[in-house]
């Protein structure tokens, strides 16, 4: 970036740190902002600045929110007796897109990963246990990823939750809707058979 003026080089360097943005894309974005009206660049800078200041974790479920308690947790129409546990805040949106789940959520902010040194202390587990101990929860759905790490996390949570006299369930694993069985791998197919249900 030696040929660019310092402010432009700095912006390109910062943009390159973003996921999915390579050097070419970073340059393209930087020049786009340079040519754009001043207000557009200021709006973007303000939005980025607000991101860290205005957003926080919900004090109940740990989802990302701009208030003390997020919209899902303060929604009185939702069912308190079921909590769906997900790894990351964006996983919550994946469950919400089904429009079928009307319970509450709990975000762990990760999964147990011995290989990366992520243990229970790095996850938001204690809050979940507190909510269950607080009473009124009948079922906890473990919606962690279908990976070895996700399975380990689900198994760990199940061990912690079962003594608290709550029903603990795990989301099913199987063949994606609209796909062809021919292309399903053997592990997925075995899991689909294992989780088959009576018609």
Partner 1 sequence: MPPISSDALVLRSYKLGETSKVVVLLTRERGKVRAVAKGARGRRNRYHSALEPLSEVRVGLYGRQGAELYRLGECELLRSAFPAGARGLDEAMALSYFAELLDAFSLEGEAEDAVYRLALAIVAAVEEGSPVTALARYLEAWLLRLNGLYPSLDRCASCPRGLPAGSLEYHAGAHGFVCSECGPASGPALTAGTGSYLRRIFGHAPSAVGAAGEDESASLESFHRDLIRRHLERDLRSHRVLRDVARGVRGVQGTPQLDERERDSLPRERKTLP
User: Which one of 49, 130, 172, 193 is in contact with partner 1 (CB under 8 A)?
Assistant: 130
According to CB under 8 A, which residues from 54 to 93 bind partner 1?
55-57, 59, 62, 64
According to CB under 8 A, which residues from 169 to 198 bind partner 1?
185-188, 190
Query: Contact at 8 Å (CB) between 91 and 72?
Result: no
Judged by CB under 8 A, the stretch of 25-33, 69-77, 98-106, 124-132 that binds partner 1 is 124-132
Compute the distance between CA of residue 101 and CA of residue 132 in angstroms, rounded to an integer: 19
Q: Closest separation between CB of residue 96 and partner 1, Å?
A: 19
Residue 166 binding partner 1, by CB under 8 A: no
Cα Dmax for the chain: 69
Residue 105 binding partner 1, by CB under 8 A: no
Beta strands in 29-186, from DSSP E residues, in sequence order: 56-57, 64-65, 82-86, 104-107, 139-142, 167-170
Query: Contact at 8 Å (CB) between 57 and 64?
Result: yes
Query: Contact at 8 Å (CB) between 76 and 89?
Result: no
Measure the CA angle with vertex 35, ends 31 and 39; round to 5°: 115
Residue 121 binding partner 1, by CB under 8 A: yes
According to CB under 8 A, which residues from 17 to 46 bind partner 1?
19-20
Chain positions contacting partner 1, by CB under 8 A: 19-20, 52, 55-57, 59, 62, 64, 109, 112-121, 124-127, 129-130, 133-134, 147-149, 151-152, 155-156, 158-160, 163-164, 185-188, 190
């Amino acid at each position: 970036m030696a040929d660019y003026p310092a402010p432009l080089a700095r912006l390109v360097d910062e943009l390159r740190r973003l996921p999915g943005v390579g050097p070419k894309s970073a340059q393209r974005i930087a020049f786009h902002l340079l040519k754009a009206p001043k207000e557009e660049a200021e709006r973007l800078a303000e939005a980025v600045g607000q991101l860290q200041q205005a957003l926080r974790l919900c004090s109940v479920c740990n989802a990302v929110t701009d208030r003390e308690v997020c919209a899902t947790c303060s929604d009185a129409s939702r069912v308190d007796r079921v909590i769906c546990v997900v790894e990351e805040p964006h996983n919550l949106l994946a469950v919400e897109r089904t429009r079928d789940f009307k319970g509450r959520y709990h975000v762990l902010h990760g999964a147990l990963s011995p290989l990366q040194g992520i243990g229970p202390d790095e996850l938001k587990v204690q809050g979940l246990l507190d909510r269950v101990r607080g009473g009124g929860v009948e079922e906890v759905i473990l919606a962690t990823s279908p990976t070895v790490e996700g399975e380990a996390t689900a198994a760990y949570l199940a061990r912690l939750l079962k003594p608290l006299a709550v029903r603990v369930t795990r989301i099913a694993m199987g063949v994606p809707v609209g796909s062809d069985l021919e292309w399903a791998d053997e592990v997925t197919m075995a899991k689909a058979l294992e989780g088959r249900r009576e018609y």
